[in-house]
Structures are given as structure tokens and as C-alpha cells.
Structure 1
Amino acid sequence: MIIKICGVRARDHALTAVDAGADMLGLVFAPSRRQITVEDAASIAEAARFAARGRGRAITLIGVFVNETVERIRDIASSCGLDGVQLSGDEPVIYADALAPLLVIKAVRFDDSAQERAWFDQAHVQLLVDARVPGNYGGAGVVADWERAAELARWRSLMLAGGLTPENVADAITRVHPWGVDVSSGVESNGVKDHGKIRAFIAAARAAAR
């Protein structure tokens, strides 16, 4: 089970996630209240990698983008030493090859569009199922469609996002059987990452996966 803590904006939250056993950290470069500068992201990435090495493991750094150009994504990935990128907008499927060899995670929301269906056929792209909220490129804390996610998970490896919390992540894992889980607002208090909730989420996800 891969666990991704997304929307990290502070070094101490990143270090808590690493210490608690997170596999991935998401750094948001798209306009949002969790948006981070390239400079801060690079600093957090360096600290997280150092902390992970001290524990004898690695941490995967993912940059989150919405409708950004391939050139800009590549530039930021290089500057911050990102391992992969998450495309959360309306990016065309040609981005999959254009961003290689970076790990590419594509957010899908079951909008039933031809463009989204084209991403389902990209075997080398990791899919992330998020909630569909009109006018919003993030799940906004809304629970995703677990039933459709479970159907998709029968033939495609996927990461589940959208409204996950320390309280419901075990149920989500049991019902959907995802490759990984992704959380942002579910480990926040008053819009800020909460150390206790980060640890609780990771512990609950690990226990359910076992």
C-alpha cells in the first residue's frame, strides 16, 4: 500500500509524514491555498529525502499541476528534484510520453469524457481517482465514487483520493482495493496539516492494508 500525503507546505509536516512512514509527498504548484513556491518545494524535498535516508528508505516527491505546459512542468521537476508529477487538470494524453521518464499520475473523476477514457489505456501511467466537483480541480474534501473506483481497480491499478480521513481510510481500502491512497484536507485542522492526523491516517492505512 502506497500512502501519499499531499499539499505539504511546511518542512515539519513533511518530516512528520516521513517519520510516520509515508511513501509519497505531494507538492502543489497549481493555484490553490496549498500552492508552494519552487524554492520552498526544493527545500522541503531535500529535507524529506535526508530524513528518509536516515531511516534506510526512500521518499517519492510528486509535483501536482493543473493545465501547466510540459516545459514548465519539466523545469520545476528538475529544479526541485521531483520523482514524478500528478496531472490534475484537463491535460491531453500526449503528456504521458512527453513527461517520460518521470512517474506520471493522472487524476480522473469519472466524467465519462473521451479524453479521460484515453488515459485509462495508458498502462505506464498511474491513475488517481478523485471526487468530481464541478468547477474544482481537486476533490475539495468530497468523497470519491468508491463503487466505480472499485470496478476500475479490478483491471487497473489506481490510487484513491477524495475525502479520505483517518476514520474512513480503512473502509475505503477494504471496499476499493487501491494500489495507494492519497490524502490532503483529511489530515488538516483549520486548513493546516495536523501532525496527529498525519500519523493517524498512515497508521490506519497500514493496518487496513495488512
Structure 2
Amino acid sequence: MMIKICGVRMREHVQTAVDAGADMLGLVFAPSRRQITVENAASIANAARVAAIARGRAIALIGVFVNETVGRIREIAQLCDLDGVQLSGDEPVTYADALESLLVIKAVRFDNPAQERAWLTHDRSHVRLLVDAHVPGSYGGAGVVADWDRAAELARQHPVLLAGGLTPENVADAVARVRPWGVDVSSGVESNGVKDHAKIRAFIAAARAAAH
């Protein structure tokens, strides 16, 4: 099972996540309190790869975007050497084909049937669906628990990355109930809006244990 720590902005948190066994790191380029500049993201991406190599393992770097143009996404992906992109806005399914050289993670919140139906029926090997909570006015990172029952149903049909309100305390239950391809956490490993080293380690340990 894949474990993604999202919204990392500091090298020390990247180091902790890699050391603890994270598989993916999310770099937020969309407007957010976790937003990072392209320059800083490139620096952090390099630090993540160095840390992973030292551990004899790989780390996937995922850029998080909201309603950005395909051209700009491609540009940032190249500048920061991203492995994949997370589309957390209202992006049409045509983005999947336009970004086929990357892993594409599309957020679904069970709140836009017409658009989501297109993504749900677009079966491509490089696309994963991220189930997040529906929070009006928010494109993620709100700390609200997603609909695990619907996520579990979807996970039986598609590789699903479960997000939304996950914490070190509830991730084991979430994994047991949903059986996702992966889990994604941001606010659940923060204290006072800042990534917390102990919570990062605890989350990864709990998720990893639950997956076995």
C-alpha cells in the first residue's frame, strides 16, 4: 500500500517522511496555506531523492494542482522533476490523456456526478482516483473524514487513494474498511498548522501495520 504525505514545505519534514517509509510526497502548487514556490519545490524534490537514495529506496513526488492549465502543469512537472500530478479541482477527463507521461491522481468527492462519472469510467493505467471529503469551498486539506463506505465500494473497482481527515489514530480503521491502493494525509500529521515529526512517523507506522 502506498502512503502519501501531502503539503510538505520543509526539508526536515521531507527527511522524516522518507526515513519513516513514506512512498509519496505531495507538493502543493495551488493557492493554499501549504502552497510552495516552484523554486522551493525543486529544492525539496532534490532533497527527497537524495534522502531516498541514502535509504536504498524510491520516493514519488506529486505536484498538487487546482484548475491549472495543462501547459503550466507540464512546465512545473519538468522543472521540479515530478513523478505525478494530483488534480484537485474541476479538471475535465481530457487532462488524463494530456498528462499521460505522468501518474495522474484525480480527486473525487462524490459531489459532481457528471464530471466524476467521466473520471470513474475512464480506465487508464496511469490514473488513480483520490477519494476526499466534500467540503463546500474547499479543494482539500480540510481535515474532514471522507465517506469510507463509498470509498470502499469504489476501491473494489479502481485503485483508490483515500484522503480526508485521516490521522495516526484512525488510519488503521480506514485501511481495514476501505482497503485502498494508498492513503493520503496532510492536516492529520500537523500541529498548529505545521507538519509534526512524531505524527508523521506515527501515521506511517499505523498505516503500514494495517496494510499487512
The whole-number CA distance in structure 2 between the counterparts of 1:47 and 1:155 is 36
The whole-number CA distance in structure 1 between the counterparts of 2:100 and 2:209 is 34
- Deviation for aligned residue 1:122: 2.1
- Deviation for aligned residue 1:139: 4.5
SS where residue 35 of structure 1 aligns? coil
- Structure 1 residue aligned with 2:55: 55
- Deviation for aligned residue 1:183: 0.1
8 A contact 1:16–1:195 mirrored in 2: yes
- After superposition, the C-alpha distances for 1:154-187 in whole angstroms (9 at most, x for unaligned) are 1111010000000000000000000000000000
- Structure 1 residue aligned with 2:196: 194
The whole-number CA distance in structure 1 between the counterparts of 2:72 and 2:140 is 20
Q: Which of these residues, 177, 185, 188, is aligned with residue 179 of structure 2?
A: 177
> TM-score scaled by structure 2?
0.98
- After superposition, the C-alpha distances for 1:133-157 in whole angstroms (9 at most, x for unaligned) are 0111114000000011011111111
Residue ranges of structure 1 left out of the alignment (5+ in a row): none
- Structure 1 residue aligned with 2:158: 156
8 A contact 1:29–1:35 mirrored in 2: yes
The whole-number CA distance in structure 2 between the counterparts of 1:54 and 1:159 is 27
Percent of counterpart pairs with the same letter?
81
The one-letter amino acid paired with 2:208 is R
The whole-number CA distance in structure 2 between the counterparts of 1:115 and 1:83 is 25
1:50-199 matches, cutoff 5 A: 50-124=50-124, 125-199=127-201
The whole-number CA distance in structure 2 between the counterparts of 1:129 and 1:46 is 28
8 A contact 2:141–2:186 mirrored in 1: no
Residue ranges of structure 2 left out of the alignment (5+ in a row): none
Query: Which sits farther off after the overlay, 51-60 or 108-117?
Result: 108-117
The whole-number CA distance in structure 2 between the counterparts of 1:23 and 1:172 is 18
- Deviation for aligned residue 1:112: 4.2
- Structure 1 residue aligned with 2:209: 207
Structure 1 segments (4+ residues) deviating >2 Å: none
8 A contact 2:4–2:23 mirrored in 1: yes
The whole-number CA distance in structure 1 between the counterparts of 2:77 and 2:112 is 30
- Deviation for aligned residue 1:121: 1.6
SS where residue 126 of structure 1 aligns? strand
Aligned length: 210
8 A contact 1:131–1:139 mirrored in 2: no
- After superposition, the C-alpha distances for 1:30-54 in whole angstroms (9 at most, x for unaligned) are 0000000000000000010011011
The whole-number CA distance in structure 2 between the counterparts of 1:164 and 1:196 is 15
8 A contact 1:132–1:139 mirrored in 2: no
8 A contact 2:66–2:89 mirrored in 1: yes
The whole-number CA distance in structure 2 between the counterparts of 1:61 and 1:135 is 26
- Deviation for aligned residue 1:123: 2.0
The one-letter amino acid paired with 2:199 is K
SS where residue 183 of structure 2 aligns? strand
